[in-house]
Structure 1
Amino acid sequence: MAYDEVLARRISDLLEGEPGVTSKKMFGGLGYLVGGHMAVAAASSGALMVRADPADCEAWADGEAIKPMEMRGRPMAGWLLVDIAAVADDDELGQWVHRGVRFVRTLPPKPPSP
């Protein structure tokens, strides 16, 4: 399944002018990176993927609209999957997008790929 292009456009609009943000197609979705770290993505499932401090993930996950992300059946620490219905309004989407960006800005930049 392809990513939700409307969601991707909304994310792009929110991140316009944000220093150091790039986008990259990956895993069937469109990821938004800061310093080489993916902060958020329009996932191939249609949801929003958000990178966050693992301690915050536990507090923010509700088990329904906001869940810990799993890849191949294994939980991925520091990643949340936010259902599209939970980011229907731009303020809600902005909150999640900026949480991801704020967290990855705390990480050391990744060296460029060769």
Structure 2
Amino acid sequence: MAFDTDLALRVREGLRTVSGALPDEKRMFGGLCFMIAGNMCCGVLGDRMMARVGPDAYSTLLAKPGAGEMDFTGKPMKGMLMIDADTVADDAALQDWLSHCFAFVRTLPPK
């Protein structure tokens, strides 16, 4: 599966703003994932953003417009969401989602 390179560029730059560092990148799930301290933070799959928000924020953020379950295997991955392209078309909305991702990932130990 190809991924939206323009969205990937915006995510990369947005994560640099949120985290203060350029994230590492890894091709996974047929898309591009962004890593912070060795932990997957978010990614771009097709034209959607994958958001790792953690299990505590999952239900609340799933209720936001444009958010959906990440269910590659038919079973939702708790703590992971897929965000529609239209939802993150606005830079402020993208930054909001990236802030949620970074807030969770910074609680994890480095790998």
Alignment partner of 2:31 out of 29, 32, 53: 29
**Aligned twin of 2:7:** 7
Match of 2:21 in 1: 19
If the length of structure 1 is used for normalisation, what is the TM-score?
0.86
Q: Secondary structure at the match of 2:7?
A: helix
Q: RMSD between aligned alpha carbons?
A: 1.7
Structure whose CA Rg is larger = 1
Structure 2 residues without counterparts, runs of 5 or longer? none
More strand by share: 1
1:99 and 1:64 mapped to 2: Cα distance?
15
Q: Conserved in 2, the CA contact under 8 Å of 1:57 and 1:68?
A: no
Moved over 6 A (4+): none
The answer to whether structure 1 residue 68 and structure 2 residue 69 are counterparts is yes
Aligned residues: 109
Residue type of the alignment partner of 2:90: D
- Structure 1 position 41, deviation (Å): 0.2
> How does the TM-score come out when normalised to structure 2?
0.88
Cα distance, 1:30 vs structure 2: 0.9
Residue 69 of structure 1: how far off its partner (Å): 1.0
The letter for the 2-side match of 1:7 is L
The answer as to whether partners of 1:20 and 1:35 remain within 8 angstroms in 2 is no
Whole-angstrom CA distance in 1 between matches of 2:89 and 2:22: 26
Contact 2:31 2:44 in 1 (8 A): yes
Q: Quick one: which amino acid aligns to residue 46 of structure 1? A: D
Alignment-mate amino acid for residue 43 of structure 2: A
Give the CA deviation at 1:64: 6.1
SS in 1 for 2:34: strand
Question: What amino acid maps onto 2:96 in structure 1?
Answer: Q
Q: Deviation of residue 55 (structure 1)?
A: 2.3
Which residue in the other structure is 1:42 paired with? 44
